[in-house]
Amino acid sequence: MVGICNPDQMSNGFLIRTTRINYFCYPMNYYDKHKDVLATAVAAIYQRKYWSPYPESPRAYAEDADAKAKEAFAKQMNQNFDGLTASTNWVGEEVSPFLQTGIGVKYPQHSVDELLANATKAQQSWGSTSVETRAGLLTESLERIKGRFFDIAYATMHCTGQANMMSFQASGPHANDRALEAVAMGLQQQTIFPAEVEWVKPMGKFDLKLRKNYKSVPKGVGLVIGCSTFPVWNTVPGVYANLICGNVTLVKPHPKAVLPIAIVIAELQKLLTEAGLDPNTVQLAVDTSDAPITKQLAENKAIKLVDFTGSNAFGDYVESLPKTTFTEKAGVNCALIDSVADMKAVAGNLAFSACLYSGQMCTAPQTIFIAETGVKTSEGHFSYDEVVVSISEAFTGLVNNPKMGANILGALQSDVTLNRLQNAKNLGGKVVLDTALVKNEEFENSRTHSPVLLEVSAADEQIYGQECFGPVTFIVKTSNIKQSLEIMQELAVSKGALTCSCWCTDADKCSEIETQMNAAFVPVSFNFGGAAFVNSHAAFSDLHVTGGNPAGNASFTNADFITKRFVWVGNRYGI
């Protein structure tokens, strides 16, 4: 069956091309099915207002969906994971931070040569499909993944230590939002030129006529390297950006966090098979901690694109590869308290942002700068010591809250993070709060610990001037706001930063702070309170990472995140 797009026209800010779409023997035209959602998604990218087709409240879904998913997870434990490209080898080593036991799921393992051979073969068919066909199929896959949100939530929870609600939202609707955002941006960027034109140049007594076509040619096989804390949210943008641009993709998950993304890939492979396409268009490339394959894949000449989320050291290695790379690494996220309307509200907002998922978020604030002269508030002047006490009390009150504390903290994903937390009090400075085990009523063995809060001076940069991943927060005493801002900007330039929080009631000062931090390519969140937290980045509105400082070289989702994955080629025919 052959479909034809609408005539050339501008719609929602992007060009709908006149082109013929080959749908092969697909059971239905997915582009036509989802074209309204895709058009709305493209418009949302340019309007930057709130929009999402995937409700973030579990109540928006079937009443029994959660219970069924919880039961399904229990049945999946200690079983082989079905639904992926078959293999005779099975591996798995995931451990639940809540249960403190292995979940026992095994995944089909393929050799590097087999993975690359499958990918190279699949590239031929996937790369030749039209962008509209790809957009329709990928949007359909997200609709099917929507039906697995609760399954993915329990998988995420027991691989990462995220609390159930965060697991549902981050790996479900919010991840789908980011994936759709990549598809929409990819569709827009690959339809900005007409598919074909007749070019006429007046030459006086005659016209020179040529027929020209324009093609977005995929760069080739992509590799997406996942992380252990956000195995879906941080992975699907690269996967869907690759696929919409015609690049088949290998997904190399962290060996401790495979199940959530395995469910996603299984849904993709199932749909590709139904559509008459090669299911190996996207593959799961599992390995073990003792026998990693990431570098073997990344360095292979067949791999043209590499997406990575994780540590600075490995991220720097990825960026050194002679390939197109997209990285999100680490940085020192700072917060500045200069003047506030309500000190208690600000302290509470900071405490929640720092404690959410035990600080295991790349956007969490780590280092808080306060001038020794204190903070001006609507309630009068707070001395420096009073501000520290207010922050300390906010941390303590949140952690000790019997209804919220354990759920906000979640659990520590790895032993490495736990060891870092337990050793934090030895870093130096004054220990304002030390860590302690926090009881989780649902999971008695949960690896849940309260955060460490350290007070240091501006001169102690060797203590606070590097990422300390996990629930460790520094309060830095400076001479004044000028010194605070200078240190924050220098840290962003030298170490990188994904976020910056600021509380200031002076408009002129806010403008200066924005200018200074933006010069270091760091976005600033001013005067957040209530339900607004620096950790949260909304698809179709907020850019995640700027790509302009050492915290990463790419951004979810700007045009560069898409256009670097394909090449425009124009051909000319004489008439």
List the CATH number of the domain containing 503: 3.40.309.10
Global confidence as pTM: 0.93
- Reported as a single tens digit per residue, the pLDDT across 381-436 is 999 999 999 999 999 999 999 999 999 999 999 999 999 999 999 999 999 999 99
Residue 552 inside a domain? The answer is: no
Give the per-residue pLDDT at 284: 98
CA dist 348 and 369 (Å) reads 16
- Rounded Cα–Cα distance for residues 235 and 224 (Å): 7
Specify if 537 maps to a domain.
no
Q: Are residues 284 and 374 in the same domain?
A: no
| The CA-based dihedral angle spanning residues 266, 268, 274, 277, taken in that order and rounded to the nearest 10 degrees | -120
User: SS3 sequence, 368-415?
Assistant: EEEECCCEEECCEEECHHHHHHHHHHHHHHHHCCCCCHHHHHCCCCCH
What SS3 class is residue 195? coil
pLDDT of residue 20: 38
Q: Is the same domain home to 156 and 265?
A: yes
| pLDDT < 50: residue spans in the chain | 1-16, 18-27
Report the C-alpha gap between 274 and 270 in whole angstroms. Answer: 6
Which of 24, 25, 21, 30 minimizes the C-alpha distance to 3?
Answer: 21
Q: Sign (positive/negative) of CA torsion 310, 312, 313, 314?
A: positive
Both 299 and 415 in a single domain? Answer: no
Residues 170 and 59 sit within 8 Å (Cβ to Cβ)? no
- Compute the distance between CA of residue 204 and CA of residue 398 in angstroms, rounded to an integer: 80
CATH label of the domain that carries residue 11: 3.40.605.10
- Shared domain for 321 and 338, answered yes or no, is no
302 and 249 both lie in a single domain: yes
In a domain, 558, yes or no: no
Tell me if 336 sits within 8 A of 324, measured CB to CB. no
The answer to the question of residue 567 being in a domain is no
Q: Does one domain contain both 369 and 310?
A: no
- Domain end among 508, 526, 544: 526
Same domain flag for 33 and 139 = yes
> In which residue are the tokens 């076509």 written?
213
Q: 526, 550, 570 — which closes off a domain?
A: 526
For residue 199, what are the domain limits? 2-329
Asked if the structure places residue 358 within a domain, the reply is: yes
Same domain? For 505 and 468 the reply is: yes
Of 17, 52, 237, 44, nearest to 133 by C-alpha is 17
- Residue 342 resides in a domain: yes
Which one, of 562, 545, 550, 539, lies nearest residue 222 by Cα? 562
Nearest to 123 by CA among 368, 303, 267: 303
Q: Which two tokens stand for residue 507?
A: 């408009």
Residues 206 and 189 both lie in one domain:
yes
Give the DSSP letter of residue 54.
S
Cα–Cα nearest to 105, from 237, 255, 230, 232? 255
Domain-located, residue 468: yes
Tokens of 289: 């901690």
Residues 258 and 379 in one domain: no
> What is the domain count for the chain?
2
Rounded to whole angstroms, the Cα distance separating 303 from 481 reads 47
503 in the same domain as 377? yes
How high is the pLDDT of residue 137? Answer: 98
| Beta carbons within 8 Å of 389's beta carbon, 6+ residues apart | none
* 325 and 342 together in one domain: no
Side-by-side strand order, sheet with 566-574 = 196-202, 207-218, 566-574
Specify if 559 maps to a domain. no
Which among 329, 352, 374 is the end of a domain?
329
